[in-house]
Amino acid sequence: MATSPDRSRIRLTNISSRAYEHPADRGALTALRSMKGFDEVVKRFFGMVNMRSLRLMHLATAVRVDERQFPDVYNYVRDAAYTLDLPEVPELYVRQDPKPNAMAIGYNKPFIVMTTGLFDLLDPEEQRFVVGHEVGHILSGHALYRTMLLWLINLASRIAWIPLGYVAVGAIIAALEEWHRKSELSCDRAGTLACQDPEAAKRALMKIAGGSRLAEMNTDAMLEQAREYDAGGDALDSVIKLLQVFGHSHPFAVVRLAELHRWVEEGEYQRILDGQYPRRDEDSEASIGEEARNAANSYRESWERSEDPLLGTLKDMAGSAADTGGKIFDNIAERWRGTGRQDRDGSSSNS
């Protein structure tokens, strides 16, 4: 039974996106946010991508939700922005498309698009989860890197006839796709914090996997599927699983369900609701090296939980990567700080 949509929710005042981000996602974002001049790079990059045209296209071809059009969905996006303390309520468009999908687009003023296929598939509380998921993408600032991924995929298709160029771009794409998959796990958590109904979040992921016949599905059985997939059988199954994720920007739905279930069961969801979360005004103090270590350790911990025979051989490597990566990023961060101090000293001496 879905929870009543008019129940009160805890507002997570000044919550930092670091509270819900997967360690691998958070590590990459912390590093990029700390880089001096990165905002300027962002502006130049988006000079190549006309975001205004995307919004105008949706104004012309989709339905913008407000008090008069899809008013319930309008309330969901307002509630999600309020609960996650987003400074501005983003626009949301419903687009005619039978394929279930939703996305957050843009950088300076991002907006959300939800297809009719997804809208018709989900009940109201499940829709709240999806809207909150997309609001999480906006709070984390994921749109930039997602757009970079799409741009690089398009570039790769154009230079496929140049072997070395294609290999170089392909390696970047593979890394961005891995980040993108982790960012989706992050925002499943954000969506759960927005709707504050973990069971609705799980139902939404089950429907994404198996369609609208929820009465024919069972959460425990789906989690058993996830454990069987994780165990992987023999080494050949392990290799097949690695190959299957290439080219996919999203984790598989059953994997997402298991990851969200574990995050809730381990108590992190409740700790955040209890007010134990990093604040946005503390983001500048986040340690790049520490986040790099956290990212590597998260892989090691997932491999330790896994029964997959191939991943079992990588546990020690992950520990070494955590220590080495943390030291490298600490050194880089110190150099960035040193450059910043020199710039400040230089400007003050000339004034």
Active-site residue list: 134
Q: Is there a contact between 140 and 29 (Cβ–Cβ < 8 Å)?
A: yes
- SS3 for 172? helix
User: Which of 177, 84, 182 has the alpha carbon at shortest distance from 138?
Assistant: 84
Strands 92-95 and 111-115: parallel
Report, in angstroms and rounded to the nearest whole number, the Rg of the chain calculated over CA atoms.
21
- The token pair at 55 is 């919004």
Burial (CB count <10 Å: 0-12, 13-18, 19+), residue 214? middle
Rounded Cα distance between 183 and 186, Å, is 5
CB neighbours of residue 162 within 10 Å = 11
CA 132 to chain centre: 12
Q: Which residues contact 80 (CB under 8 A, 6 or more apart)?
A: 86, 128, 131, 132, 135, 194, 195
Rounded Cα distance between 258 and 202, Å, is 9
Q: How many residues comprise the chain?
A: 351
Alpha helical stretches, state H, the chain:
23-34, 38-47, 51-61, 71-83, 116-121, 124-140, 143-158, 163-195, 198-210, 219-231, 235-245, 253-265, 268-273, 288-305, 309-312, 315-350
- SS3 for 114? strand
